[in-house]
Structure 1
Amino acid sequence: MMGKLDLYLERKREELGVRLNEVQKQAVGHARGPLLLLASPGSGKTTTIIMRIGYLIEELGVEPERIKAVTFSRASARDMKERFAKWFPQLAPVDFSTIHSLAFEAVRSHLWRSGQAYEIIEGAVDTAEQEGEAGPGKGEQGLPLHKKIILRGLYKEVVGENATDDIMEELTTYISFVKNKLLQPHEWESVKSDVPQAAQLLAAYEQFKRNGTDKLLLDFDDMLTLCNELLEKDEALLRKYQRRYDYILTDESQDTSLVQHAIIEKLARGHRNLCVVADDDQSIYSWRGAEPSYLLQFKDVYPEAVTLFMEQNYRSSKEIVTAANLFIKRNLGRYPKEMFTENAAHEPIVFKRLTDYRKQAKLVVREASKADRLSEVAVLYRNNSSSITLMNEFDRAGIPFYMKDADNRFFSHWIIEDVLNFMRMTYTDKRVDILESIHMKMAGYISKHQIAVLKSIDNGESVFDNLRQFVQLQDYQVKLLKEAQETFQEMGGMPPRQAIRVIRTRLGYEKALDKMCERLGFRKDYLIGILNTLEDIAEGLETMADFAARLKYLEKVLNSAKLRKGQDAVTFSTFHSSKGLEFDQVYMVDLIEGVIPAKEEDKRAADGSMPLMEEAVRLFYVGMTRARKRLTLITYGQRDGEKTEESTFMTAVRDIAEPEWRGAQAAGAGASEAGGFKLQFGTERRGSGGGGSESGARRFRSSSASSVASAAAGSAKRELNPHAVRKREALEEGQAVRHKVFGPGVIEALDGERITIRFGPENAKSLSVAMCLDMGLLELM
């Protein structure tokens, strides 16, 4: 006789066509008490959540308004709400919202009762109730009371410099991290930040919000910290929300911060009906205060909790799932999971190593143009700066693209304005205002006092002539300014790419950037990257006017790319923003050391762990698991004349997917020394999707502790098939075999160290016999 759960699932299978596996069924049927549901990528997490909510309502009689579902983003909340309404149209809506919306509702309730006036100073609050409230007030100088305006003013006051957009981003990230970690003022100094006097700026910011106006000023992070504080102190408020909900579910909990966890714990303290859905392997927001260690300690808080592992991947091909599963095992701080799939093999992972960076965007354009549906193609990268060169190439090729997280800061960056001002000086050297904007960033060492004197001279002549005739100069300046004037004159009519090289070198701009980086803590590699991108944009253009026009045009293209969501266009996204998305084809680009992993991620913590490196591994894993059928990893040997190294992550995946590639590389190197060719550069390698190898573990030691490599190798050994063929004598031509990744096939040839197996009419693969035997990849059929 079928039980209540089975009857429910059978009915929904007939109504919706939804079939659940055994773990999903257990999650749906878990009615009382805490549940930790660890969901691997593509494991049907949202389906399981919605089916569980439906079961609570339809079969257990829980009122929809008694269920609170908390998600990480507004998009997730909206998607879940729409899915629930589609599958259960006859039911009243469940309360889906972000944690910020929940926190703001509680804070506003308390402030209303206490008569405290307040104002939100950051963006639009994620709650419908906020609509219609008064707009932002005005500060003393008539400027809106907005977080960024306040922080810019405080930075100028405290540091004595104008804050760049990069500094503003770093500062707001620092403030958010401190608050989400619930750090006390005496701990603020301990948090590393590239922003000078960050802790002092935060203290000034907090004081202004409480004393700068007659209202309490709140930003998004304040909603969380104040909510947690009020729930701790205001018993009536706490009881109100504890009594409102009988069931609480949190999604994407690996991205939840300490303060967010604290709020949820308080609300679930009475009934303890808390379902936490997460994947510790996809926790990639520690820089925003996310606390993935909470998941590992869940049983400490809820000893009676049930833990379920949703490990079956319904999204990706066997090759991608196998490689990603072995790759993530290199991390130690995780639950032991075995992601698997019953999907068929599709095609090997593709590894591209190009000779030069400039070939990368052109390669992706060529490959993407062959796709039947552009919307099923994604290009993923670590840093937003990578998108500009891609955008330039795709636009020139006429291929539409959607920018998932478009960042306009590139086109408003002061580096670009500097370069354009240098170019303006080639058209006229009579404008003091242009020279004033760049005089500290060029050879000549012109002082502010000298510029002030120059501005008092209004005779319409060359600024360089006026400097020499009317301004007191040091002897060395005379020669430098004469050379600068001649250089600007030579640049007249010069192609823009060549002009940028002259600005960087002969006019001394890069040396000036070096000094600025030392003085202000800017990241030189980031600034140089902007200059490199400008050269890419300038390639093929004839005049500097064309270059300026191209920049304006690309900014418009970027703005329009934001609006192409849902259209037939290639998606550009950072690894971070790609989480939750999936595509048939994924290209992961700029896979070089220093980008992923970044230099600072190769550092150990005091306890010997490598938390930054482990998060970088998770980020790479997120990128890999966005792909359904085709995954291409791309690196290159040099950029702007400087050698680059292949990302150790890409190398690790290649070791997993194609264990025999090192032997082929060594043979190629030998051929090169003997006068042949070298396989390392300009070639394409397709991985076999096989299991991991000890050579792969050894190669990865630069990015994780040796114990991680040992654990990975040991894990690979434990997974060997007990029925696998171990002796060469057991193999013969014409024999039917099953490969661990590629499935059933027939041996066509055994030739020395290679075995050729045909897996289909047009799918024959030549594999290493030794590797197949050592890794237990084959069994007889």
Structure 2
Amino acid sequence: MTIDDALKTLNPQQLEAVEYNDGPCLIVAGAGTGKTKTLTTKIAKLIADGLNPSRILAVTFTNKAAQEMRERVEALVPGMGNRVWIHTFHSFGVRILRQHAGVIGLSRDFAIYDDADQKKVVSLILEQMGIKDPKKEINQIVSIISRAKDDMVSPDTLMQSATASGMDGKIRAAEVYRRYEQKLKEAGALDFGDLLVKTVVLLRDHEDIRSYYQEFFQYILVDEYQDTNHTQYLITKFLAAKRRKLCVVGDPDQSIYSWRGANIRNILEFEKDFQDTKTITLEQNYRSTKVILEASNKLITKNKKRKEKSLFTDKGSGDPIEVRQLTSEGDEARWVSQNIKALVDEDGASLKDVAVFYRTNAQSRSFEDCFRRYQIPYRLVGTVRFYDRKEIKDIMCYARILINPADNVSLLRIINTPTRGLGKVAQDRLLVYAEEKHCSLYDALKNAAFVPGLSSAAVKAAIKLVQLFENWRGDMLLTDPADIFHKILIESGYMDAVKAEMEKDPEAESRLQNLDALINAVKEYEDRCRKGEKEPSVSDFLQEISLLSGEDDSNAGEGGAVTLMTVHLAKGLEFDDVFVTGLEENLFPIGRDNEDELEEERRLCYVAMTRARKRLYLTYASSRRKFGQVQNNLPSRFLFESGLLDENEMQETSQPRYTDYQSKYGLYGAGASGGYRGGNYGNGYVRGRNNFGGNRYQNFEGYASKSRFQKRYDQDGYEIEEDDLDYTSSSYGGSSGIGSLYARPSFSKPSGFSGGGSSPASSSAAHAKPPSAPAEKNADGVAVGGLVKHGVFGQGKIVQIAGSGESTKITVVFGNGTRRTFMLKFAPLEIL
């Protein structure tokens, strides 16, 4: 195809975007509106009009996108595409840094450290600082360093902020950052963050180099501008400042990566940065049907931080969107499986054109299990299969030892997981003893007192571990399998270890969710057994999972496999048939009490819906298990906001209104009462009105969420206090809590506590003297200085009261120094 042929295929808005070159240009490109086609045609047109291709810079975010752009330009103007500077921001940085390395004190042969290299350096530094278990802090500190670099925050600035906070953990992270930078300098290396930071420094501090590139690049294009962070914004601004021949393309409605530093303000305020900007909006969608776009448009208009647009299509209305309420996550997975089978068998759909989206990785478990049973090939994107995840394999190994104590492989995996004083030295001595005595490692543990060279502490740890297994083995005769797994989680200390990591490692939250999903899997297994009049057992469950895990997807064949992924990974993709699952309050949206966070969750749902070409299915469950306990759920507000559910209809079914949810159940709802009871599996409600093609609907389970720097209330109704230092790992993304019994530890520690989980020091909060007499009680029966009792934290003292009536909040300091803020009407407190 020639460039002239390509121009004839453009719609009026695309053509305007291609031909406008007189100044700064913002192309607001909605989902499926031909963004890449427009951008590559624009580059080709610039070349066809005589611009030197080597003087054009086009920047995007992935190597795959850069390669696709290069190939499309080459196809339109043969022999020219490879001469254009088409790069990711990072590869652009490498190119000019190698050219000018000496100016900023670098060798042209500097090494580039990837994520694994970063972690090795941080681990070494933590060991040198005498940290006993550096693994627990590595991910958090690497995240802090990366985010600091994204925001151009130096080690000194971070240390000042950390010192002002008075928290040891933050001070330690800042110190690691300082040493980390020194080690990179000594090694002549840069990490990925440095590739951008050093580029900014080069352009900012060296006017001659900045002027050279400002003059050199005659036209600059930036793709996915809504995803740029601060360093990328600065690079763009420095390069385009002189010629102002800049075109950025993006969509604020698809900005879903704030957790990794993306700043939606960059695109929203582009016209302020370049006041003579020409803004062109692409609204004609070539991907989805009319009903899909109508629902998506209606949803996203609820956001305030956006550029006004409304997608439309020349396609027909298409199949109605199906909104399906199921009774549980298991029913949800079965319904999805059955519909996928029907799509293939009855409609001739190809599995490679079918995708199932969910909000959290832990949700994949029910779909993986069900797809195996229905023999539906699938591919899991962005994570490992559920039963291959570390925490799942650990707990399964505990269970295997219960059935077969001679399983040395399983025992070696968990003998010191979590840490219990049976490290490598102790394990080696136990193995030598087992070899000499021709016995199993478990028998060696039982005889630990007779193992040569084993310390008294290791002997005690071995005896305690054996006793745990013996107790669980006895319990198996009287207790359901799910309860056994629950005992393993709690009594082994595994759950406490994961909870302790949650302050230090942002990934620990997902591990807790996965453990929750494992308990739910065992419960579902029990249900299946009882329906088949079969007695459930730990042994049978292990066998079932082993057989399932042993299967592969080599039978995918020409039809391919269904794609399973989180919504975040779905951006930029499209499928004929899309199932968006788990549309329930507290799961999707996963966080809602902060307006910015809620808007991003809404954008995420918008992205999910607009991935569908032909058919869209939205599901939610009326109940979902959390650590085996059934919790009732309300459908996601997004179903109402998109016009697919009607509040009045739901009210008529005697269900709590969506708008009443906060007032009745608190910001995160106790889940103990109310919620949607729903019909039995397979039964749905029929919409009274025929909006969007006469959709049907039905329901799913959720996790309570919390992110740093916003007020959050857990399921017991109390506010989890946050510290206010930026650049902590948990500030970079939402994460979810599991419920009151398994609530994540507070991120806020009294003064004197280390951020790394060390023993408490003297705490002014913990030892503050109570007032001589409580103040007079207010209308709610509480007063500053009054005493209360909590089921977990014990007795505490009220130190602050804010608000009144239903909005009353009280802050309590408990005897162990824990400080908590509660919404009084939801607080599980006894007023003393």
How does the TM-score come out when normalised to structure 1? 0.71
AA of the residue aligned to 1:666: E
**Which of 501-510 and 445-454 deviates more?**
445-454
CA pair 314-466 structure 1, distance change in 2 beyond 3 A: same
Instruction: Give the match for residue 725 of structure 1.
Output: none
AA of the residue aligned to 2:599: E
Q: CA deviation at 1:52?
A: 1.7
Alignment of 1:294-373 (within 5 A): 294-371=266-343, 372-373=349-350
AA of the residue aligned to 2:515: L
Instruction: Give the match for residue 99 of structure 1.
Output: 89
AA of the residue aligned to 1:71: T
Unaligned runs of 5+ in 1: 1-8, 125-144, 605-609, 671-676, 692-701, 704-781
Q: Separation in 2 of the partners of 1:336 and 1:200?
A: 45
User: Which one of 490, 495, 499 corresponds to residue 517 of structure 1?
Assistant: 499
Unaligned runs of 5+ in 2: 344-348, 530-537, 657-675, 694-703, 706-832
Question: What's the secondary structure of 2:342's corresponding residue?
Answer: coil
**Which of 279-288 and 511-520 deviates more?**
511-520
Q: Separation in 2 of the partners of 1:18 and 1:299?
A: 29
User: Which one of 3, 7, 10 corresponds to residue 20 of structure 1?
Assistant: 10
Question: What's the secondary structure of 2:123's corresponding residue?
Answer: helix
Q: Separation in 1 of the partners of 2:126 and 2:96?
A: 32
User: Which one of 265, 269, 282 corresponds to residue 241 of structure 2?
Assistant: 269
Instruction: Give the match for residue 122 of structure 1.
Output: 113
User: Which one of 561, 568, 586 corresponds to residue 594 of structure 1?
Assistant: 586
CA pair 247-319 structure 1, distance change in 2 beyond 3 A: same
CA pair 423-156 structure 1, distance change in 2 beyond 3 A: farther
Alignment of 1:274-673 (within 5 A): 274-371=246-343, 372-407=349-384, 411-428=388-405, 434=411, 437-438=414-415, 460=439, 462=443, 465-466=446-447, 484-490=468-474, 499=481, 501-505=483-487, 508-509=490-491, 512-514=494-496, 516-518=498-500, 521=503, 526-534=510-518, 539=525, 543=540, 546=543, 549-550=546-547, 553=550, 568-598=560-590, 601-604=591-594, 610-636=595-621, 637-639=623-625, 640-653=628-641, 656-659=643-646, 662-663=648-649, 666-667=652-653
Question: What's the secondary structure of 1:178's corresponding residue?
Answer: helix
**Which of 545-554 and 583-592 deviates more?**
545-554
Q: Separation in 2 of the partners of 1:690 and 1:338?
A: 16
Q: CA deviation at 1:400?
A: 2.4
Q: Separation in 1 of the partners of 2:653 and 2:489?
A: 47
Q: Separation in 1 of the partners of 2:11 and 2:81?
A: 27
1:517-549 deviation digits (Å, cap 9, x = unpaired): 147637886444323444577748965764674
CA RMSD of aligned residues (A): 4.4
Q: Separation in 2 of the partners of 1:314 and 1:432?
A: 54
Q: Separation in 1 of the partners of 2:342 and 2:389?
A: 34
Question: What's the secondary structure of 2:334's corresponding residue?
Answer: helix
1:54 aligns with 2:44: yes
CA pair 544-112 structure 1, distance change in 2 beyond 3 A: farther
Q: Does the 8 Å contact 1:351/1:685 carry over to 2?
A: no
Q: Separation in 2 of the partners of 1:429 and 1:313?
A: 62
Question: What's the secondary structure of 1:69's corresponding residue?
Answer: strand
CA pair 593-668 structure 1, distance change in 2 beyond 3 A: closer
1:26-48 deviation digits (Å, cap 9, x = unpaired): 21110221001111111111121
Instruction: Give the match for residue 684 of structure 2.
Output: 684
**Which of 30-39 and 536-545 deviates more?**
536-545
Question: What's the secondary structure of 1:53's corresponding residue?
Answer: helix
AA of the residue aligned to 1:596: F
AA of the residue aligned to 2:613: R
Q: Separation in 2 of the partners of 1:352 and 1:463?
A: 55
Instruction: Give the match for residue 110 of structure 1.
Output: 100
CA pair 553-86 structure 1, distance change in 2 beyond 3 A: farther
Instruction: Give the match for residue 697 of structure 1.
Output: none
User: Which one of 14, 23, 27 corresponds to residue 37 of structure 1?
Assistant: 27
AA of the residue aligned to 1:122: Y
Instruction: Give the match for residue 181 of structure 1.
Output: 151
AA of the residue aligned to 1:402: R
Q: Separation in 1 of the partners of 2:199 and 2:303?
A: 34
Question: What's the secondary structure of 1:505's corresponding residue?
Answer: helix
1:554-612 deviation digits (Å, cap 9, x = unpaired): 7x76xx89xx99973222222111111111111012223333222xx3343xxxxx222
1:67 aligns with 2:56: yes
AA of the residue aligned to 1:180: D
Q: Separation in 2 of the partners of 1:272 and 1:122?
A: 34
CA pair 52-501 structure 1, distance change in 2 beyond 3 A: same
Q: CA deviation at 1:646?
A: 3.3
CA pair 310-398 structure 1, distance change in 2 beyond 3 A: same
Question: What's the secondary structure of 2:684's corresponding residue?
Answer: strand
1:692-734 deviation digits (Å, cap 9, x = unpaired): xxxxxxxxxx99xxxxxxxxxxxxxxxxxxxxxxxxxxxxxxx
1:120-175 deviation digits (Å, cap 9, x = unpaired): 34349xxxxxxxxxxxxxxxxxxxx81122223334555835455x9655444333
CA pair 434-62 structure 1, distance change in 2 beyond 3 A: same
Question: What's the secondary structure of 2:579's corresponding residue?
Answer: strand
Q: Separation in 1 of the partners of 2:558 and 2:381?
A: 11
Q: Separation in 2 of the partners of 1:566 and 1:619?
A: 31
Question: What's the secondary structure of 2:22's corresponding residue?
Answer: coil
CA pair 296-400 structure 1, distance change in 2 beyond 3 A: same
Instruction: Give the match for residue 81 of structure 1.
Output: 70
AA of the residue aligned to 2:47: I
Q: Does the 8 Å contact 1:39/1:279 carry over to 2?
A: yes
AA of the residue aligned to 2:320: P
1:152 aligns with 2:123: yes
Q: Separation in 2 of the partners of 1:381 and 1:416?
A: 23
Q: Does the 8 Å contact 1:33/1:272 carry over to 2?
A: yes
Q: CA deviation at 1:621?
A: 0.9
Q: Does the 8 Å contact 1:500/1:535 carry over to 2?
A: yes
CA pair 453-376 structure 1, distance change in 2 beyond 3 A: closer
Q: Separation in 1 of the partners of 2:655 and 2:549?
A: 46
Q: Separation in 2 of the partners of 1:415 and 1:162?
A: 22
Q: Does the 8 Å contact 1:158/1:201 carry over to 2?
A: no
Q: How many residues align?
A: 635
Question: What's the secondary structure of 1:369's corresponding residue?
Answer: helix
CA pair 342-171 structure 1, distance change in 2 beyond 3 A: farther
AA of the residue aligned to 1:419: M
Alignment of 1:699-778 (within 5 A): none
Question: What's the secondary structure of 2:285's corresponding residue?
Answer: coil
Instruction: Give the match for residue 716 of structure 2.
Output: none
Q: Does the 8 Å contact 2:322/2:617 carry over to 1?
A: yes
CA pair 477-284 structure 1, distance change in 2 beyond 3 A: closer
Q: Does the 8 Å contact 2:391/2:511 carry over to 1?
A: no
Q: Does the 8 Å contact 1:440/1:447 carry over to 2?
A: no
